[in-house]
Amino acid sequence: MSRIEGQCLCGAVSVAVNDPPGWVGLCHCDMCKRWSGAVFAAFPASDFALSGPVMEHPSSPVSYRAFCGRCGSHLYMRDDDRAERDFMPGLFAATGDWPLKSEIYTDRALCWARLPGDHKRATEAEYEAKYPSPMGDHA
């Protein structure tokens, strides 16, 4: 079993993830851009431990975004129906060399945030045809 450990900007929140996937995915939808400032980078984990002042904000009828209650660092996003969290890779030094596996809402990417590479991509229409959003346009 592998394990990575990380923390928020001020160090008040500690995060440990067992058996991380070793890759990162990106989302360019409007909600993720608002939360992250440009693009939401994350990796999924279901075996994790958190300690410290974690706060959650209900960002939609089905999703929550977590942050450090002291410094505001973004920690993860989760949906009501999943035990899994989508963690921000910047919390962990060990994610520095992880490859980009997939990118969604590519047609909504800011012009300077379009990334080259040989990873999977899906536009808004392609992604929502496969995974219909309970919010309609995922805005």
- pLDDT at residue 139 greater than cutoff 50: no
Could you list the residue range(s) of the whole structural domain that residue 81 is in?
3-130
- Is residue 17 helix, strand or coil? strand
**60/8: higher pLDDT:** 8
Instruction: Locate 38 and state its tokens.
Output: 């440009």
Q: What is the pTM of this model?
A: 0.90
Examine residue 61 and state whether it is found in any structural domain, yes or no: yes
Examine residue 137 and state whether it is found in any structural domain, yes or no: no
Decide if 8 contacts 52 (C-beta within 8 A).
Answer: yes
Examine residue 139 and state whether it is found in any structural domain, yes or no: no
pLDDT at position 134: 61
pLDDT at position 132: 82
- Is residue 68 helix, strand or coil? strand
Number of domains in the chain: 1
| CATH number for the domain harbouring residue 17 | 2.170.150.70
